[in-house]
Structure 1
Amino acid sequence: MSMRLAILCPGQGAQHAGMFDLLRDEPQASAFLAQSDLPAHLQAPLETVLADSARLYANHNAQPLIVAAQLAAWEALREPLTAIAGAPVLVAGYSVGELSAYAVAGVIEARDTVALAAQRAAAMTQAASAQPAQGLMAIGGVPADRARDCLARHGGHVAIITGEDTLIAGGGEAALQAAAAELAISGARTSALPVGLASHTPLMQAATAPFAAQLAARPLESPGLTLLAGVTGQAITDAVQAKALLVRQLVEPIQWAACMDNCAERGVTVALELGPGAALSRMLRERHPQIACRSLADFRSLRGALAWLQRQAD
């Protein structure tokens, strides 16, 4: 078959103590992690962070950890993957994973992206600290419009649109709890996510100026392959647009359902999620079952992932 491969980069919530295990014996991955100086961007030594769930899920550690793991995996996979499938036709990132997607597409220098993730996390943590406790909540089993109206009544916001009857909400904890109680009457499912700030909502407005300043200090390039913007679900055309959309992403909802539909419309036949976790591959498989989707989290080694890709190419 003629493979048209998409690379997917997830966000926070699925990080775990073994998230670097697949990479430890991969020279390219180890070299990338050394060059990115990941430990300098964490609030404690790496092994301490990985062993402590409170530190692991803390925003200031989670964002650089996730980006570092994804880009280290990409460094190890890029050459053998290209030999099997050619260059990816598309890359898309979900929440902080969009930083990784920018690096995969050549918009941001990969080794600098871990530092940028730490700076993004710092700006968002500072914005959240000036407000009451906040977070994210998954909502399912009710039409998205009804969930949006309910959230608005209680002062919550739509953060990520994942389907016709599923979304991620963001806001103050009190607003989310009140919305959850009302939605439960309609039979909706809700669950709090392990993210302690209201990403992709107006509550992050104070983070936009410092993050924009960090982006302005870096040279950004136009994408070298099709790169989808989270806030539009459409392809990014140049470096100026890329920079603006990445700032907007802090305070505007992520259109992940539109990103998935764009994958299908562009003829993607195979998608590989860089992990940690497998939420994006599961969502894409459910929405567009004709696309073969797997995550690195499904395999015991990078060689296993490459063997699966080879079978898709045969």
Structure 2
Amino acid sequence: MDKSDKIIVGISIGDLNGIGVEVILKTFQDKRMLDFCTPVIFGSTKVVSYHKKALKLEVPVHGITSLNQINRNKINIMNIWKEEVEIDLGKATKVSGLYAAKSLTSSVKSLKEGKVDVLLTGPINKETIQSEDFNFPGHTEYLEANLEGKSLMILMTNKLRIGLITGHIPISKVAESITPELIKEKVFTMHNSLCQDFGINKPKIAVLALNPHCGDKGVIGKEDDEIIKPTIEEIAASGKLVYGPYAADGFFGSETYKQFDGVLATYHDQGLAPFKALSFGNGVNYTAGLKEVRTSPDHGTGFDIAGKNLANPSSFKEALFTAIQVFNVRKEYIELTKNRLLVK
């Protein structure tokens, strides 16, 4: 691959006291990774050097102060602050949250301006990152507010993709949030993503029930019969291959999920608990529905193992490869559909 053709991957550094820097460094310890992309880590060489020393990792990096200085064959560190930052590995601090936000804000700005091709985000602490400038439950909500499109959080591997109809909201708010309009929006977003981002021609999508046993005909809840089922039938009548609602326990227990290209869970833990039980450490968090491509590993800050050289970079590597793959598939899809319109 010509070095000028390589995808530029913007990487937000995540919480400075967690394992984000460690999994980034371990990923690019393998020099072959630079054959696939050009990484640009938004943070500071001082912070990266601190982690390298603490972890005893020998990974050469290239510090820059402008994206015009990117070296296509090196691990670039975009220095977005000059000051010394207090690092306290394994601790959730307001300082580490503040600088995680600085990294994310700068990398998203560069993504929006087209200066990087895709975004790969390191794990943040959702409490310490909160401020007047960052008032969001997580990455997904922040990205939707700052980029074009309606987001859908998808946790995925090669064999399983689970999207969330509702995201980071309290369980007490889930039932009232499940509306026909929201279900339609999330189904359409997943359908479009499976087509344009993963090259699946006629994707099959399963929707999980909100209540145990699909509500047992109203005995345990009426939402499945009165809201979810009629909405699925309406969507299916338009020609999309959408099925359900399925009781979540039997759906995963019987491995029915293997029959579908995508699954929509009604709330966070209904989808993520089985996903992580089946795939933890190898999964990818992909934000579908946005104009730009963003992925992240499926794990958190890992404060309990930070600085101990124990973090596994597998999920981060998968997130990197997924971002590259989605970027390329989407580019090809746009070209194909553009040609199809011209023919018409």
**TM-score of the superposed pair, with normalisation by structure 1:** 0.30
- State which structure, 1 or 2, has the greater radius of gyration over its C-alpha atoms: 2
More helix by share: 1
